[in-house]
Structure 1
Amino acid sequence: MDADPTEGSGPAADRGRSARTALRGTDAHSLGTVSTRSFRLTPDAYRRICGVALALLAVIVVTGAAVRLTGSGLGCSDWPTCEEDRFVPEADFHGWVEFGNRLLTGLVSVAVIGAVLGSMVRRPRRRDLEAWSWGLVAGVVAQVLLGGIVVLSHLNPWLVLGHFALSMVLVANAVLLHHRAGDHGRRDGPATARVRRLTVALVGLAMVVLATGTLVTGSGPHAGS
Protein backbone atom coordinates (compact mmCIF):
# COMPACT_ATOMS: atom_id res chain seq x y z
CA MET A 1 0.00 0.00 0.00
CA ASP A 2 1.36 3.46 -0.95
CA ALA A 3 2.06 5.84 1.91
CA ASP A 4 -0.06 8.96 2.22
CA PRO A 5 2.26 11.95 1.57
CA THR A 6 0.39 13.98 4.14
CA GLU A 7 1.18 11.49 6.90
CA GLY A 8 4.37 11.70 8.88
CA SER A 9 6.76 14.60 8.85
CA GLY A 10 8.96 16.44 6.42
CA PRO A 11 8.47 19.07 3.71
CA ALA A 12 6.22 16.88 1.56
CA ALA A 13 3.94 16.08 4.49
CA ASP A 14 3.73 19.74 5.49
CA ARG A 15 2.78 20.75 1.95
CA GLY A 16 0.11 18.06 1.83
CA ARG A 17 -1.45 19.11 5.11
CA SER A 18 -1.42 22.79 4.07
CA ALA A 19 -3.17 21.98 0.80
CA ARG A 20 -5.83 19.92 2.56
CA THR A 21 -6.45 22.67 5.14
CA ALA A 22 -6.75 25.29 2.40
CA LEU A 23 -9.25 23.11 0.53
CA ARG A 24 -11.41 22.69 3.63
CA GLY A 25 -11.31 26.45 4.23
CA THR A 26 -12.37 27.13 0.64
CA ASP A 27 -15.28 24.69 0.93
CA ALA A 28 -16.43 26.22 4.22
CA HIS A 29 -16.24 29.73 2.76
CA SER A 30 -18.26 28.64 -0.28
CA LEU A 31 -20.93 27.04 1.90
CA GLY A 32 -21.11 30.15 4.07
CA THR A 33 -21.51 32.34 1.01
CA VAL A 34 -24.32 30.19 -0.36
CA SER A 35 -26.04 30.12 3.05
CA THR A 36 -25.88 33.90 3.40
CA ARG A 37 -27.15 34.50 -0.09
CA SER A 38 -30.01 32.05 0.32
CA PHE A 39 -31.40 34.08 3.24
CA ARG A 40 -30.95 37.51 1.72
CA LEU A 41 -34.04 39.74 1.92
CA THR A 42 -34.71 42.64 -0.41
CA PRO A 43 -35.77 46.04 0.99
CA ASP A 44 -39.23 45.73 -0.62
CA ALA A 45 -39.79 42.26 0.86
CA TYR A 46 -38.75 43.48 4.30
CA ARG A 47 -41.10 46.45 4.05
CA ARG A 48 -43.97 44.06 3.35
CA ILE A 49 -43.12 42.17 6.55
CA CYS A 50 -43.21 45.47 8.44
CA GLY A 51 -46.56 46.21 6.82
CA VAL A 52 -48.00 42.94 8.12
CA ALA A 53 -46.77 43.74 11.63
CA LEU A 54 -48.31 47.22 11.42
CA ALA A 55 -51.64 45.87 10.17
CA LEU A 56 -51.87 43.28 12.96
CA LEU A 57 -51.02 45.88 15.61
CA ALA A 58 -53.81 48.08 14.26
CA VAL A 59 -56.25 45.16 14.20
CA ILE A 60 -55.52 44.21 17.80
CA VAL A 61 -56.39 47.77 18.86
CA VAL A 62 -59.79 47.26 17.20
CA THR A 63 -60.31 43.86 18.83
CA GLY A 64 -59.30 45.36 22.17
CA ALA A 65 -61.98 48.00 21.68
CA ALA A 66 -64.46 45.23 20.88
CA VAL A 67 -63.59 43.58 24.19
CA ARG A 68 -64.41 46.82 26.00
CA LEU A 69 -67.57 47.67 24.05
CA THR A 70 -69.06 44.19 24.49
CA GLY A 71 -68.30 44.14 28.21
CA SER A 72 -65.94 41.20 27.78
CA GLY A 73 -63.01 42.59 29.75
CA LEU A 74 -63.36 39.81 32.31
CA GLY A 75 -64.68 37.19 29.89
CA CYS A 76 -61.51 35.38 30.95
CA SER A 77 -61.02 36.09 34.63
CA ASP A 78 -57.53 34.59 34.91
CA TRP A 79 -54.19 34.91 33.13
CA PRO A 80 -52.42 33.40 31.23
CA THR A 81 -55.18 30.75 31.21
CA CYS A 82 -58.74 31.87 30.62
CA GLU A 83 -60.00 30.48 33.92
CA GLU A 84 -58.14 29.03 36.86
CA ASP A 85 -58.82 25.47 35.71
CA ARG A 86 -59.34 26.04 31.96
CA PHE A 87 -57.00 27.26 29.23
CA VAL A 88 -59.87 28.08 26.84
CA PRO A 89 -63.27 29.54 27.77
CA GLU A 90 -66.49 27.61 27.90
CA ALA A 91 -69.18 28.19 25.27
CA ASP A 92 -69.58 31.81 26.34
CA PHE A 93 -69.67 34.85 24.05
CA HIS A 94 -67.74 37.19 26.34
CA GLY A 95 -65.12 34.57 27.08
CA TRP A 96 -64.42 33.95 23.40
CA VAL A 97 -64.25 37.67 22.61
CA GLU A 98 -61.55 38.11 25.23
CA PHE A 99 -59.80 34.86 24.35
CA GLY A 100 -59.84 35.73 20.65
CA ASN A 101 -58.08 38.97 21.46
CA ARG A 102 -55.42 37.00 23.33
CA LEU A 103 -54.97 34.62 20.40
CA LEU A 104 -54.42 37.57 18.09
CA THR A 105 -51.55 38.59 20.36
CA GLY A 106 -49.86 35.37 19.29
CA LEU A 107 -50.05 36.42 15.63
CA VAL A 108 -48.71 39.85 16.52
CA SER A 109 -45.79 38.20 18.32
CA VAL A 110 -44.94 36.13 15.25
CA ALA A 111 -45.11 39.23 13.04
CA VAL A 112 -42.79 41.36 15.19
CA ILE A 113 -40.30 38.50 15.55
CA GLY A 114 -40.40 38.22 11.77
CA ALA A 115 -39.60 41.93 11.55
CA VAL A 116 -36.54 41.44 13.76
CA LEU A 117 -35.28 38.40 11.86
CA GLY A 118 -35.95 40.13 8.56
CA SER A 119 -33.92 43.15 9.61
CA MET A 120 -30.94 40.85 10.22
CA VAL A 121 -30.97 39.29 6.74
CA ARG A 122 -32.09 42.38 4.84
CA ARG A 123 -29.54 43.62 2.34
CA PRO A 124 -28.24 46.21 2.67
CA ARG A 125 -28.36 45.75 6.43
CA ARG A 126 -29.40 48.80 8.46
CA ARG A 127 -28.93 49.20 12.18
CA ASP A 128 -31.79 51.69 12.55
CA LEU A 129 -34.30 49.14 11.23
CA GLU A 130 -32.96 46.52 13.63
CA ALA A 131 -33.34 48.91 16.55
CA TRP A 132 -36.94 49.85 15.70
CA SER A 133 -37.91 46.22 15.11
CA TRP A 134 -36.50 45.25 18.52
CA GLY A 135 -38.62 48.07 19.93
CA LEU A 136 -41.70 46.22 18.68
CA VAL A 137 -40.63 43.02 20.42
CA ALA A 138 -40.00 44.84 23.70
CA GLY A 139 -43.37 46.57 23.42
CA VAL A 140 -45.29 43.36 22.75
CA VAL A 141 -43.63 41.60 25.70
CA ALA A 142 -44.53 44.54 27.95
CA GLN A 143 -48.06 44.55 26.54
CA VAL A 144 -48.58 40.86 27.30
CA LEU A 145 -47.38 41.26 30.88
CA LEU A 146 -49.39 44.43 31.44
CA GLY A 147 -52.48 42.80 29.96
CA GLY A 148 -52.21 40.03 32.52
CA ILE A 149 -51.91 42.57 35.33
CA VAL A 150 -54.98 44.41 34.01
CA VAL A 151 -57.06 41.24 34.17
CA LEU A 152 -55.80 40.27 37.62
CA SER A 153 -56.55 43.81 38.89
CA HIS A 154 -60.16 43.47 37.64
CA LEU A 155 -59.73 46.24 35.04
CA ASN A 156 -58.19 48.99 37.14
CA PRO A 157 -58.84 52.18 35.09
CA TRP A 158 -55.28 53.43 35.39
CA LEU A 159 -53.85 50.11 34.27
CA VAL A 160 -56.33 50.01 31.40
CA LEU A 161 -55.08 53.46 30.40
CA GLY A 162 -51.48 52.26 30.46
CA HIS A 163 -52.41 49.19 28.42
CA PHE A 164 -54.05 51.30 25.73
CA ALA A 165 -51.30 53.93 25.75
CA LEU A 166 -48.71 51.22 25.18
CA SER A 167 -50.74 49.99 22.21
CA MET A 168 -50.56 53.47 20.71
CA VAL A 169 -46.79 53.57 21.23
CA LEU A 170 -46.49 50.21 19.47
CA VAL A 171 -48.55 51.41 16.51
CA ALA A 172 -46.41 54.56 16.27
CA ASN A 173 -43.26 52.42 16.38
CA ALA A 174 -44.61 50.17 13.62
CA VAL A 175 -45.58 53.16 11.44
CA LEU A 176 -42.09 54.62 11.76
CA LEU A 177 -40.45 51.25 11.05
CA HIS A 178 -42.61 50.74 7.95
CA HIS A 179 -41.79 54.25 6.73
CA ARG A 180 -38.06 53.89 7.27
CA ALA A 181 -38.02 50.46 5.66
CA GLY A 182 -39.14 52.14 2.44
CA ASP A 183 -36.85 55.17 2.42
CA HIS A 184 -33.78 53.19 1.24
CA GLY A 185 -31.55 55.03 3.67
CA ARG A 186 -32.58 58.51 2.54
CA ARG A 187 -33.59 61.07 5.13
CA ASP A 188 -36.40 63.55 4.71
CA GLY A 189 -35.51 67.22 4.71
CA PRO A 190 -36.05 69.22 7.90
CA ALA A 191 -39.59 70.42 8.54
CA THR A 192 -40.34 74.08 9.00
CA ALA A 193 -40.73 75.49 12.50
CA ARG A 194 -44.47 76.00 11.93
CA VAL A 195 -44.98 72.38 10.90
CA ARG A 196 -43.03 71.16 13.93
CA ARG A 197 -45.12 73.29 16.31
CA LEU A 198 -48.38 72.09 14.77
CA THR A 199 -47.21 68.47 14.93
CA VAL A 200 -46.29 68.73 18.60
CA ALA A 201 -49.63 70.39 19.38
CA LEU A 202 -51.58 67.75 17.46
CA VAL A 203 -49.76 64.86 19.15
CA GLY A 204 -50.25 66.45 22.57
CA LEU A 205 -53.97 66.99 21.96
CA ALA A 206 -54.41 63.43 20.71
CA MET A 207 -52.69 62.08 23.83
CA VAL A 208 -55.02 64.08 26.08
CA VAL A 209 -58.11 62.85 24.21
CA LEU A 210 -56.96 59.23 24.32
CA ALA A 211 -56.05 59.38 28.01
CA THR A 212 -59.26 61.06 29.18
CA GLY A 213 -61.42 58.86 26.96
CA THR A 214 -59.84 55.69 28.31
CA LEU A 215 -60.21 56.83 31.92
CA VAL A 216 -63.87 57.79 31.43
CA THR A 217 -64.62 54.44 29.80
CA GLY A 218 -62.73 52.52 32.46
CA SER A 219 -64.21 54.25 35.51
CA GLY A 220 -67.76 54.95 34.37
CA PRO A 221 -70.91 52.84 34.82
CA HIS A 222 -70.15 50.90 31.62
CA ALA A 223 -66.54 50.08 32.31
CA GLY A 224 -66.47 46.86 30.33
CA SER A 225 -66.35 44.65 33.38
Structure 2
Amino acid sequence: LGKRLEPIMRPSNLPLAAVGAGLLWFGWFGFNGGSALAINGQAISASLVTTLAAIMGGLSWMFAEWIKFKKPTTLGLITGFIAGLATITPAAGFVDVFGGIIIGALGGLICFWAVVYLKNKFKYDDSLDVWGVHGVGGILGAFLIAIFAKKIVGGVNGLFFGSASLFIPQIIGIISVGIYTALMTFIIFKLVDKLVGIRVSKDEERAGIDEYTHGEKAYLDIV
Protein backbone atom coordinates (compact mmCIF):
# COMPACT_ATOMS: atom_id res chain seq x y z
CA LEU A 1 0.00 0.00 0.00
CA GLY A 2 1.31 3.44 -0.87
CA LYS A 3 3.01 4.99 -3.85
CA ARG A 4 4.05 2.70 -6.70
CA LEU A 5 7.84 2.53 -6.84
CA GLU A 6 8.25 1.43 -10.44
CA PRO A 7 6.50 2.25 -13.74
CA ILE A 8 3.06 0.75 -14.25
CA MET A 9 3.05 -2.21 -16.65
CA ARG A 10 0.55 -2.04 -19.49
CA PRO A 11 -1.99 -4.88 -19.84
CA SER A 12 -0.50 -7.80 -21.72
CA ASN A 13 -3.64 -9.35 -23.23
CA LEU A 14 -6.37 -7.01 -24.42
CA PRO A 15 -8.52 -9.79 -25.94
CA LEU A 16 -8.74 -11.47 -22.54
CA ALA A 17 -9.50 -8.10 -20.96
CA ALA A 18 -12.38 -7.69 -23.42
CA VAL A 19 -13.68 -11.19 -22.66
CA GLY A 20 -13.46 -10.47 -18.94
CA ALA A 21 -15.37 -7.21 -19.35
CA GLY A 22 -18.06 -9.05 -21.31
CA LEU A 23 -18.43 -11.61 -18.54
CA LEU A 24 -18.67 -8.81 -15.98
CA TRP A 25 -21.29 -7.04 -18.07
CA PHE A 26 -23.34 -10.24 -18.29
CA GLY A 27 -23.03 -10.78 -14.55
CA TRP A 28 -24.17 -7.23 -13.89
CA PHE A 29 -27.66 -8.17 -15.02
CA GLY A 30 -27.74 -10.33 -11.90
CA PHE A 31 -26.61 -7.38 -9.79
CA ASN A 32 -29.17 -4.94 -11.09
CA GLY A 33 -32.02 -6.80 -12.76
CA GLY A 34 -31.87 -9.63 -10.24
CA SER A 35 -32.14 -7.22 -7.30
CA ALA A 36 -35.86 -6.88 -8.05
CA LEU A 37 -36.20 -10.52 -6.88
CA ALA A 38 -38.89 -10.99 -9.51
CA ILE A 39 -39.44 -11.08 -13.25
CA ASN A 40 -41.30 -7.80 -13.55
CA GLY A 41 -41.17 -4.38 -15.18
CA GLN A 42 -38.69 -2.98 -12.68
CA ALA A 43 -36.25 -5.84 -13.32
CA ILE A 44 -36.52 -5.33 -17.08
CA SER A 45 -36.07 -1.57 -16.69
CA ALA A 46 -33.02 -2.07 -14.47
CA SER A 47 -31.44 -4.41 -17.02
CA LEU A 48 -32.12 -1.98 -19.85
CA VAL A 49 -30.63 1.05 -18.12
CA THR A 50 -27.67 -1.09 -17.06
CA THR A 51 -26.84 -1.79 -20.69
CA LEU A 52 -27.40 1.81 -21.76
CA ALA A 53 -25.23 3.14 -18.94
CA ALA A 54 -22.42 0.74 -19.83
CA ILE A 55 -22.52 1.83 -23.47
CA MET A 56 -22.53 5.52 -22.55
CA GLY A 57 -19.75 5.01 -20.01
CA GLY A 58 -17.57 3.38 -22.66
CA LEU A 59 -18.26 6.09 -25.22
CA SER A 60 -17.71 9.02 -22.86
CA TRP A 61 -14.47 7.50 -21.53
CA MET A 62 -13.26 6.83 -25.07
CA PHE A 63 -13.95 10.40 -26.22
CA ALA A 64 -12.36 11.86 -23.07
CA GLU A 65 -9.30 9.70 -23.71
CA TRP A 66 -9.28 10.80 -27.35
CA ILE A 67 -9.30 14.46 -26.33
CA LYS A 68 -6.67 14.02 -23.59
CA PHE A 69 -4.23 11.63 -25.29
CA LYS A 70 -5.12 12.21 -28.97
CA LYS A 71 -6.06 8.56 -29.48
CA PRO A 72 -8.75 6.19 -28.16
CA THR A 73 -7.78 2.76 -26.86
CA THR A 74 -9.48 -0.60 -26.47
CA LEU A 75 -8.56 -0.65 -22.79
CA GLY A 76 -10.12 2.78 -22.33
CA LEU A 77 -13.37 1.65 -23.96
CA ILE A 78 -13.44 -1.47 -21.77
CA THR A 79 -12.74 0.52 -18.61
CA GLY A 80 -15.46 2.98 -19.56
CA PHE A 81 -17.95 0.12 -19.90
CA ILE A 82 -17.13 -0.99 -16.35
CA ALA A 83 -17.31 2.61 -15.09
CA GLY A 84 -20.80 2.93 -16.55
CA LEU A 85 -21.85 -0.35 -14.95
CA ALA A 86 -20.44 0.63 -11.56
CA THR A 87 -22.12 4.03 -11.65
CA ILE A 88 -25.58 2.78 -12.63
CA THR A 89 -25.62 -0.01 -10.04
CA PRO A 90 -27.04 2.02 -7.10
CA ALA A 91 -29.59 3.72 -9.37
CA ALA A 92 -30.69 0.99 -11.78
CA GLY A 93 -33.97 0.24 -10.04
CA PHE A 94 -34.95 3.89 -9.70
CA VAL A 95 -34.20 5.66 -13.00
CA ASP A 96 -35.64 5.51 -16.50
CA VAL A 97 -33.84 5.35 -19.85
CA PHE A 98 -33.02 9.07 -19.79
CA GLY A 99 -31.50 8.81 -16.32
CA GLY A 100 -29.53 5.70 -17.26
CA ILE A 101 -28.00 7.40 -20.29
CA ILE A 102 -26.99 10.52 -18.34
CA ILE A 103 -25.66 8.56 -15.37
CA GLY A 104 -23.61 6.27 -17.63
CA ALA A 105 -22.10 9.20 -19.52
CA LEU A 106 -21.25 11.05 -16.31
CA GLY A 107 -19.82 7.86 -14.84
CA GLY A 108 -17.41 7.46 -17.75
CA LEU A 109 -16.25 11.09 -17.53
CA ILE A 110 -15.91 11.34 -13.74
CA CYS A 111 -14.20 7.95 -13.42
CA PHE A 112 -11.83 8.93 -16.24
CA TRP A 113 -10.94 12.04 -14.24
CA ALA A 114 -10.40 9.94 -11.11
CA VAL A 115 -8.15 7.44 -12.89
CA VAL A 116 -6.16 9.88 -15.03
CA TYR A 117 -5.93 12.97 -12.83
CA LEU A 118 -6.77 12.06 -9.24
CA LYS A 119 -4.53 8.98 -9.12
CA ASN A 120 -1.62 10.85 -10.69
CA LYS A 121 -2.03 13.72 -8.24
CA PHE A 122 -2.00 11.60 -5.09
CA LYS A 123 0.26 8.82 -6.50
CA TYR A 124 -1.61 5.98 -4.82
CA ASP A 125 -1.10 2.43 -6.07
CA ASP A 126 -4.32 1.10 -7.60
CA SER A 127 -3.35 -1.40 -10.28
CA LEU A 128 -6.89 -2.26 -11.33
CA ASP A 129 -8.31 1.23 -10.76
CA VAL A 130 -10.77 -0.21 -8.28
CA TRP A 131 -11.17 3.08 -6.41
CA GLY A 132 -11.25 5.25 -9.53
CA VAL A 133 -13.85 3.10 -11.31
CA HIS A 134 -15.86 1.20 -8.70
CA GLY A 135 -15.41 3.52 -5.72
CA VAL A 136 -15.89 6.84 -7.47
CA GLY A 137 -18.51 5.37 -9.80
CA GLY A 138 -20.50 3.87 -6.93
CA ILE A 139 -20.46 7.12 -4.95
CA LEU A 140 -21.49 9.10 -8.01
CA GLY A 141 -24.32 6.69 -8.82
CA ALA A 142 -25.61 6.75 -5.25
CA PHE A 143 -25.69 10.55 -5.34
CA LEU A 144 -27.31 10.77 -8.77
CA ILE A 145 -30.30 8.76 -7.55
CA ALA A 146 -31.28 11.91 -5.69
CA ILE A 147 -31.39 13.76 -9.01
CA PHE A 148 -32.69 11.29 -11.60
CA ALA A 149 -34.94 8.91 -9.62
CA LYS A 150 -38.39 8.62 -11.21
CA LYS A 151 -41.51 7.65 -9.28
CA ILE A 152 -42.99 5.53 -12.05
CA VAL A 153 -39.87 3.33 -11.94
CA GLY A 154 -38.81 3.14 -8.30
CA GLY A 155 -41.61 4.81 -6.37
CA VAL A 156 -39.86 8.12 -5.65
CA ASN A 157 -38.87 11.22 -7.60
CA GLY A 158 -35.49 12.92 -7.64
CA LEU A 159 -34.67 16.60 -8.02
CA PHE A 160 -34.98 16.53 -11.82
CA PHE A 161 -38.60 15.45 -11.40
CA GLY A 162 -39.46 17.90 -8.64
CA SER A 163 -38.41 16.35 -5.32
CA ALA A 164 -35.33 16.89 -3.13
CA SER A 165 -36.38 14.27 -0.58
CA LEU A 166 -33.56 11.85 -1.46
CA PHE A 167 -30.61 14.21 -1.05
CA ILE A 168 -30.03 13.88 2.70
CA PRO A 169 -30.68 10.10 2.87
CA GLN A 170 -28.31 9.44 -0.02
CA ILE A 171 -25.54 11.62 1.44
CA ILE A 172 -25.92 9.93 4.83
CA GLY A 173 -25.81 6.54 3.11
CA ILE A 174 -22.66 7.40 1.15
CA ILE A 175 -20.86 8.64 4.27
CA SER A 176 -22.00 5.68 6.40
CA VAL A 177 -20.98 3.08 3.83
CA GLY A 178 -17.66 4.87 3.29
CA ILE A 179 -16.82 4.83 7.00
CA TYR A 180 -17.89 1.20 7.42
CA THR A 181 -15.95 0.08 4.34
CA ALA A 182 -12.78 1.93 5.35
CA LEU A 183 -12.91 0.54 8.88
CA MET A 184 -13.59 -3.06 7.86
CA THR A 185 -10.97 -2.94 5.09
CA PHE A 186 -8.37 -1.69 7.58
CA ILE A 187 -9.20 -4.50 10.01
CA ILE A 188 -9.10 -7.16 7.27
CA PHE A 189 -5.79 -5.86 5.89
CA LYS A 190 -4.24 -5.86 9.35
CA LEU A 191 -5.46 -9.40 10.04
CA VAL A 192 -4.21 -10.74 6.70
CA ASP A 193 -0.89 -8.94 7.15
CA LYS A 194 -0.38 -10.59 10.53
CA LEU A 195 -1.32 -14.06 9.25
CA VAL A 196 0.24 -14.35 5.78
CA GLY A 197 1.38 -10.86 4.79
CA ILE A 198 -0.05 -8.62 2.09
CA ARG A 199 3.12 -8.02 0.10
CA VAL A 200 5.76 -10.20 -1.48
CA SER A 201 9.39 -9.11 -1.61
CA LYS A 202 10.67 -6.79 -4.34
CA ASP A 203 12.63 -9.60 -5.98
CA GLU A 204 9.59 -11.88 -6.02
CA GLU A 205 7.45 -9.10 -7.48
CA ARG A 206 9.96 -8.39 -10.24
CA ALA A 207 10.25 -12.08 -11.10
CA GLY A 208 6.47 -12.42 -11.21
CA ILE A 209 4.05 -13.96 -8.75
CA ASP A 210 3.27 -16.85 -11.12
CA GLU A 211 6.90 -17.88 -11.25
CA TYR A 212 7.41 -17.39 -7.52
CA THR A 213 4.28 -19.28 -6.47
CA HIS A 214 3.90 -21.91 -9.20
CA GLY A 215 7.30 -22.07 -10.87
CA GLU A 216 5.89 -21.06 -14.25
CA LYS A 217 5.22 -17.97 -16.35
CA ALA A 218 1.90 -16.97 -17.87
CA TYR A 219 3.55 -15.12 -20.76
CA LEU A 220 6.82 -15.74 -22.56
CA ASP A 221 9.20 -12.91 -23.38
CA ILE A 222 9.56 -12.82 -27.17
CA VAL A 223 12.25 -10.69 -28.77
Q: Flag whether TM exceeds 0.5 (same fold).
A: no
User: Which of these two proteins has the greater Rg computed from alpha carbons?
Assistant: 1
Higher relative contact order (CA 8 A, sep 6+): 1
**TM-score (norm. length: structure 2):** 0.31
